Amino acid sequence: MLRVANLKISLDAGDDAPLKAALKKLKADPGRVISWRISKKSVDVRDKGDVHFVMTVDVALQNEAQVLKALKPGVAAQTPPEPAFAVVRGPYTGPRPVVAGFGPGGLFAALALARAGMRPIVLERGQRVDARKKTADHFAQTGELDPESNMQFGEGGAGAFSDGKLTTGIKDPRCRLVLRELYAHGAPEEILYHARPHIGTDKLPQVVAAIREEIIALGGEVRFSTRLQEIKVRAGELAAVVYIDAQGTGEITTDSLILAIGHSAADTQQMLFRAGVRMIQKPFSVGARIEHPQKLINQSQYGKFAGHRALGAAEYHLSAHLPDGRGAYTFCMCPGGTVVPAASRIGGLCVNGMSAFARDGENANAALLIDVRTEDFGDDHPLAGYALQRAWEQRAFRAGGGAYRAPVQLAGDLLAGRATKALGGVQPTYRPGVTCADFRDVLPEFAYQGIRQAIQIFDRQLRGFALPDAVLTAVESRSSCPVRLLRDARMESSVGGLYPCGEGAGYAGGIMSAAVDGLRVAEALMKNHGLLEE
């Protein structure tokens, strides 16, 4: 197939307009077309008077080599080969590998191992949730906190409310493989070509369940409500893992453990530190969720085209350097979305955001975050960042008045330096409820002042961002992990056979990068066992 990029397509164009535009560039007759597809689709909003799509189209033609030869360089190119799962060169007969954690990193690592015939054992500390009955959307709408899945074992579970945002800044070709697998297991087809692909909280549980069922069908095993309790090391090499579940403590003899524990498993990180696993502090971010009317965001981004039938809910991503040198940015923007509870510590409160696939809610929300530097930790212990997170989340819990109500402040009050006494025209979506507050009681001073500055800067980038009635909900403290587990060229930690992976290891910052890291680590594990060609 030939790939043609940078095609300008009108919002009102017909379904075949991308093909026609591609053929015009290729100088090819429609009769030569064998098949075609949209490879990438984005919305160009730089000129509010001319909002349009920009597409990349792949076209299979008769006599492609002849067509390509007649074109000027750069007009088109052969489509790159599709990436594939690693193929092992023989049957595996060693100890079954263990995967701790079943977020995107663990999910794709386990899938790769299962397809290689290695029959992985997955330890998942949360309970199995019936996707038909209790999705993350259920928790968002009811405000219910599930103490079994989120708090039974202490620190994990904060990633349970993901809505499947698949945007990433990495260029690894495995990204395409991840998208293909998600689509093959039930995700919407548009994730294959949208520039900012999104599955939706209402659809993601079914996709994850389908991948899980394939892993099991291939001989893998997924043990829910099971926590990694201890690792046993002999002569610097992993010898076994100890776990705890409803029946008590058990042990699995293994020489390979993929640690995909997520960014909130502070208790597991403490265990690893005691076991001698080398780790270092890593910067992270802190802030709050900010909610605006989605119609305001649509108008700001699309201008007169807001509400056009070809456009969905508008998105944004904003960033700035603050006067003190820190960075401020928006993260995990949820068009038509909901602010949700993500607490995993009793007596602490943190929030996240999500959107259903339709993205048709009244409000838009995004994390508004300020850099946290390692020098802010106040301690050189590798796990000191977790102590900061815990302290801020406890402050948010107290400011909310308990019962997991979240403290909120209006943007106008924050800019004026006064406490919020009553809500305005934007109704917060957070359940189980909110309490008007003063964020000086919640955030560290550098984050409080940074958010005040960022709102004013971002208002110049996105008209209406400083809307006085915009609602800020605190605290967002889990955007990334405050520690990195060191690994070598073999992708192993300081303990041989121990493979740190994904966000919890400090090597990813979202679903896509974590899933890709899971694949990379699984491939390294196979290679280290002699299953892959050098």
**Domain chopping of the chain, boundaries:** 2-76, 98-281+481-528, 284-476
Predicted pLDDT at 534:
64
Predicted pLDDT at 83:
93
Closest CA to 140 of 166, 167, 162: 162
pLDDT-based confidence at residue 89 (cuts at 50, 70, 90):
confident
H or E element, residue 398: helix 384-400
Predicted pLDDT at 141:
44
Whether 149 has a pLDDT exceeding 50, the answer reads no
Phi and psi at residue 494, in whole multiples of 5°?
Answer: -65, -15
Whether 156 has a pLDDT exceeding 70, the answer reads no
Give 375-418 pLDDT, tens digit per residue: 999 999 999 999 999 999 999 999 999 999 999 999 999 999 99
> The sheet that has 498-500: what strands, in order across it?
221-224, 121-124, 98-100, 257-259, 498-500
- The number of angstroms, rounded, from the C-alpha of 216 to the middle of its chain's C-alpha atoms is 24
Predicted pLDDT at 345:
84
Write down the residue that tokens 């605006």 correspond to. Answer: 292
Give 117-139 pLDDT, tens digit per residue: 999 999 998 877 554 444 444 44
∠ CA 201-206-210, rounded to 5°: 145
Q: Across all residues in the chain, what is the average pLDDT?
A: 92
Give 470-513 pLDDT, tens digit per residue: 999 999 999 999 999 999 999 999 999 999 999 999 999 899 99
Predicted pLDDT at 129:
56
H or E element, residue 280: strand 279-281
The string of DSSP codes covering 16-83 is THHHHHHHHHHT--GGGEEEEEEEEEEEE-SSTTS-EEEEEEEEEETTHHHHHHTSPTTS-EEPPPPP
Residue 248's contacts (CB-CB under 8 Å, 6 or more residues apart) are none
CB-CB contact of 95 with 255 (8 Å)? yes
Predicted pLDDT at 514:
96
- What is the number of other CB atoms lying within 10 angstroms of the CB of residue 385? 25
Q: What is the CATH number of domain 98-281+481-528?
A: 3.50.50.60
Predicted TM-score (pTM) of this structure = 0.92
Predicted pLDDT at 140:
42
Predicted pLDDT at 151:
27
Give 300-350 pLDDT, tens digit per residue: 999 999 999 999 999 999 999 999 999 999 999 999 999 999 988 889 999
Predicted pLDDT at 126:
80
Give 158-193 pLDDT, tens digit per residue: 544 478 899 999 999 999 999 999 999 999 999 999
Provide the pairing of β-strand 471-476 with 498-500: unpaired
Helix axes 174-184, 104-115, angle to 10 degrees: 90
H or E element, residue 204: helix 204-217
Whether 152 has a pLDDT exceeding 50, the answer reads no
Tell me the average pLDDT across 141-153.
35
Give 29-72 pLDDT, tens digit per residue: 999 999 999 999 999 999 999 999 999 999 999 999 999 999 99
Strand, helix or coil for residue 93: coil
Closest CA to 124 of 234, 239, 243, 14: 243
Tell me the average pLDDT across 104-109.
97
How far apart (Å, rounded) are the C-alpha atoms in residues 297 and 227? 42
151 or 237: which leads in pLDDT:
237
How far apart (Å, rounded) are the C-alpha atoms in residues 144 and 270? 29
Predicted pLDDT at 143:
41
Tell me the average pLDDT across 237-248.
96
Give 282-306 pLDDT, tens digit per residue: 999 999 999 999 999 999 999 999 9
Question: What topology does CATH give the domain 2-76?
Answer: Alpha-Beta Plaits (3.30.70)
DSSP letter, residue 375: G
Whether 246 has a pLDDT exceeding 90, the answer reads yes
Q: Give 119-151 as a 3 state SS string.
A: CCEEEECCCCCCCCCCCHHHHHHHCCCCHHHHH
How far apart (Å, rounded) are the C-alpha atoms in residues 363 and 478? 22
How far apart (Å, rounded) are the C-alpha atoms in residues 354 and 349? 17
